[in-house]
């Protein structure tokens, strides 16, 4: 299945390394982010979540939508997630927040038979690692038609509400699921979230999007081993056809 390995899609600025630089055929655990990774950012699902965040903040603090957005962005920049900022600065109930922001219409996410087939043929264990909730992840995986491929979801609740890229939930993931980091690969749309994975010895794959917050922090790309633009296509090429 891994007799011929494709190159990662080369980035114009040289972000990508050839597959030979990281031997993906040795990977036996695949770790995937959820939002804007397992489904395309073109679905515009995350903007709906962001709108709900703004509504939640506006309601809690009785501020205008513009002020709510300003606070939400500040929390994200300073704490890694809006939720973490609300918890640290205002002791907000995290479960109430998660329930509210994830109460969204998922009709823009359609079943993905190409991704389903690729995951079926990709050898190894598969885990979702998300800053969202397990319930949200379950709904998204069901919409995509790929639930059966994943043995576990480590969500923000299981992580003790410590979001990526805090190193502690990565360590917990490795410990709880008995993962050998050097035989693991993490796929993520937010480049900065790959740095702790690389520090543990994991192979990292950045799924490039147009989002400003997903770009490498300060242009640092040393922790990015592969750069791709199409997850289903890359996994299909990687796993090979029957």
Q: For the domain that residue 186 is a member of, what is the CATH number? A: 3.40.50.1000
Judgement on whether residues 84 and 130 belong to the same structural domain of the protein: no
Instruction: Say how many Å lie between the first and final Cα of the chain, rounded.
Output: 9
Average pLDDT over residues 199-223: 89
Please state whether the peptide bond connecting residue 165 to the residue before it is cis, i.e. omega within 30 degrees of 0.
Answer: yes
Please indicate, yes or no, if residue 64 is contained in any of the structural domains.
yes
Indicate the residue among 57, 82, 101 that finishes a domain. 101
CA distance 119 to 83: 31
Average pLDDT over residues 43-49: 88
Average pLDDT over residues 117-123: 96
pLDDT at 67 over 70: yes
Centre a 10 Å sphere on the Cβ of residue 11 and count the other Cβ atoms it contains.
16
Please indicate, yes or no, if residue 56 is contained in any of the structural domains.
yes
Please indicate, yes or no, if residue 197 is contained in any of the structural domains.
yes
Judgement on whether residues 171 and 54 belong to the same structural domain of the protein: no
In Å, how far are 15, 123, 202 from 26, measured between CA atoms? 22, 10, 11
Judgement on whether residues 147 and 214 belong to the same structural domain of the protein: yes
pLDDT tier for residue 218 given thresholds of 50, 70 and 90: confident
Number of domains in the chain: 2
pLDDT at 16 over 60: no
Please indicate, yes or no, if residue 158 is contained in any of the structural domains.
yes
pLDDT of residue 241: 64
pTM given for the model: 0.88
- Can you give the residue range of the structural domain that contains 116? 19-43+110-239
- Which residues have C-beta within 8 Å of that of residue 12, sequence separation ≥ 6? none
In Å, how far are 59, 68, 91, 165 from 199, measured between CA atoms? 40, 35, 31, 11
Average pLDDT over residues 95-100: 96
Judgement on whether residues 159 and 88 belong to the same structural domain of the protein: no
Most confident region among 31-35, 44-48, 209-213 by mean pLDDT: 31-35
Please indicate, yes or no, if residue 227 is contained in any of the structural domains.
yes
pLDDT of residue 2: 45
Please indicate, yes or no, if residue 76 is contained in any of the structural domains.
yes
Q: Where are the alpha helices (DSSP H) in 1-62?
A: 45-61
């Amino acid at each position: 299945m891994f007799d011929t390995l494709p190159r990662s899609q080369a980035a114009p600025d040289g972000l990508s390394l050839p597959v030979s630089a990281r031997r993906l055929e040795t990977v036996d655990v695949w770790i995937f982010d959820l939002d804007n990774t397992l489904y395309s950012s073109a679905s515009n699902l995350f903007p709906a979540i962001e709108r709900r965040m703004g509504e939640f903040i506006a309601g809690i603090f009785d501020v205008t939508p513009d002020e709510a957005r300003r606070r939400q962005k500040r929390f994200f920049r300073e704490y890694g997630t809006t939720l973490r900022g609300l918890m640290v600065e205002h002791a907000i109930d995290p479960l109430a927040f998660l329930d509210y922001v994830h109460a969204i219409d998922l009709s823009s996410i359609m079943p993905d038979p190409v991704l389903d087939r690729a995951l079926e043929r990709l050898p190894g264990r598969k885990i979702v690692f998300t800053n969202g909730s397990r319930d949200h992840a379950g709904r998204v995986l069901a919409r995509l038609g790929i639930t059966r491929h994943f043995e576990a979801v480590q969500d923000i609740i299981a992580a003790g509400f410590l979001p990526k890229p805090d190193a502690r939930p990565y360590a917990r993931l490795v410990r709880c699921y008995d993962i050998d980091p050097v035989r693991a690969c993490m796929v993520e749309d937010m480049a900065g979230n790959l740095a702790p994975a690389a520090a543990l010895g994991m192979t990292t794959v950045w799924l490039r999007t147009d989002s400003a917050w997903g770009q490498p922090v300060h242009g640092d790309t040393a922790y990015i081993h592969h750069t791709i633009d199409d997850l289903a296509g890359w996994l299909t090429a990687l796993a090979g056809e029957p």
